[in-house]
Structure 1
Amino acid sequence: MQWHKGFKGTLLSHKFVKGEDLNEFERKTVNDCITQYRQRLVDISWFMRTLSEPIARMANKEDKCTGRFYSPSSMVLTLRAS
């Protein structure tokens, strides 16, 4: 449930949270996903990645460019500010 507070999740994870019946394969798949989600929830590098992505998207939209946050146009601004 914590994962769904910040991420969309999958069709199976939504079924699991709603308490719907899952067959053996679906249950194993969901358990594997839960293990991975738990690891990500306590991983600082995963947190920083998910934190920086929307910021980078906003900056790219503002700069009318695509790619990584530190694109050449952003680097020029950084160098000029120094």
Structure 2
Amino acid sequence: MVASAIEIYAYIVVARAILSWVNPDPYNPIVRFLYNATEPVLQRLRRLLPLRVGGLDFTPMVLIFVLFFVSNFLRTLLFR
């Protein structure tokens, strides 16, 4: 259950990263949800690891790797 919730959050981060490639309407409720759900975690991660190279922000990619690692770790821990 927890591992599935973490994976869903990872997909929300992916959707937010894809939206950053285009210029979405900031008043769209879906866009606002994606930004409100991911920005607190991404902002903390940006403070710890400044991963902006040129115009690219690699913070969402690092967060996705961390989330999938935690999800897989929880699955192996719970199924032992």
**Bigger-Rg structure (1/2):** 1
Which structure would you say has the larger RCO, counting Cα contacts within 8 Å and 6 or more residues apart? 2
TM normalised by structure 1 equals 0.31
Higher normalized strand content (fraction of residues)? 2
TM normalised by structure 2 equals 0.32
